[in-house]
């Protein structure tokens, strides 16, 4: 042991290829450790960001569902969708088919159905694709 210790102490380490290799390996190891830390920190930040985005998406989806149920939660609006599911109707035909005398009353409900109904170039009310899907989901076709 003493002989090995004296050989190592007497050996000029700066000129040794072993010393150069060990110093390069330690430098590379430090760089790899730093890169690993950066990767894992980035990974966990990315996961947290994705989770926030998913929660935001779910919140918007809940808001849209709530708005849809609120929109469809009235018998007059359901009747309007049913009538427009059968055929395109102008304002007076729709008013008569739904059974409402007040133009203001039916206009209020038509505004609530915004996005589910549209007015064609001929001036008739019709279901949008979303309106058709809502009617289909409700089993009213």
Rounded to 5°, the CA angle 83-84-89 comes to 95
Whether the CB-CB separation of 84 and 110 falls below 8 Å is answered with no
> Which tokens hold the place of 35?
């890169």
The pLDDT tens digits for 92-120 are: 999 999 999 999 999 999 999 988 899 99
The pLDDT tens digits for 19-34 are: 566 566 667 677 777 7
Domain boundaries, the chain: 16-70, 73-137
Residue 90, Cβ neighbours under 10 Å: how many?
13
pTM of the full structure:
0.54
For residues 94 and 120, what is the distance between their CA atoms, to the nearest angstrom?
Answer: 14
Q: Which CATH architecture has domain 73-137?
A: Orthogonal Bundle (1.10)
The pLDDT tens digits for 35-45 are: 777 777 666 66
Burial class (CB in 10 A: 0-12, 13-18, 19+), 127: buried
């Amino acid at each position: 042991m003493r002989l090995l210790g004296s050989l190592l102490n007497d050996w000029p380490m700066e000129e040794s290829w072993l010393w150069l290799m060990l110093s390069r390996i330690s430098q590379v190891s430090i760089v790899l450790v730093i890169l690993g830390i950066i990767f894992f920190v980035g990974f966990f930040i990315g996961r947290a960001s994705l989770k926030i985005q998913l929660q935001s998406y779910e919140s918007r989806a809940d808001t849209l569902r709530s708005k849809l149920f609120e929109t469809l939660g009235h018998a007059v609006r359901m009747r309007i969708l049913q009538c427009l599911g059968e055929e395109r109707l102008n304002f007076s035909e729709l008013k008569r088919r739904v059974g409402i005398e007040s133009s203001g009353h039916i206009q209020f409900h038509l505004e609530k159905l915004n996005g589910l109904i549209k007015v064609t170039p001929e001036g008739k009310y019709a279901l949008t694709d979303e309106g058709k899907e809502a009617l289909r989901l409700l089993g009213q076709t």
